[in-house]
Amino acid sequence: DVKVTQSSRYLVKRTGEKVFLECVQDMDHENMFWYRQDPGLGLRLIYFSYDVKMKEKGDIPEGYSVSREKKERFSLILESASTNQTSMYLCASSPPGQGSSEAFFGQGTRLTVV
């Protein structure tokens, strides 16, 4: 069974903390993505990566950074957490291609910033 695993299902962090969200996939996929899910807004792309040590900004990168040191792992970093970053975060991976490939999602991390 193919798998995308996010390290935490639920997180509670304080304003100003540096937060790491980890994602690991076991499908040897080149592409990895971080989305944020909010009610009424659907999923919005934060960052994505097509290869190790490569990253590109998505639609809402402000306040976030990412790291991809190994092919299977893609980390999302909140440099200084704020309450407006309280959300559900979803990681996904997909094989290389021009958009026709299915994306596989992790179960999500629900982050609350207090």
Residue numbers of the site for another protein (CB under 8 A)? 4, 31, 33, 35, 40-45, 48, 50, 58, 90, 92, 94, 96-103, 105-108
Of 17 and 38, nearer to another protein (C-beta) is: 38
Beta bridge partners of 25: 4
Residue 93 neighbours by CB distance under 10 Å: 27
The residues that bridge with 83 in the sheet, in sequence order, are none
CB of 26 to another protein, least distance (A): 15
Q: In the complex with another protein, which residue's Cβ is closer, 16 or 96?
A: 96
CA distance 92 to 79: 21
Quick one: 78 or 90, whose CB is closer to another protein? Answer: 90
Token match 């919005």: residue? 44
How far is it, in rounded angstroms, from Cα 23 to Cα 91? Answer: 6
Q: Minimum distance between the CB of residue 6 and another protein, rounded to whole angstroms?
A: 8
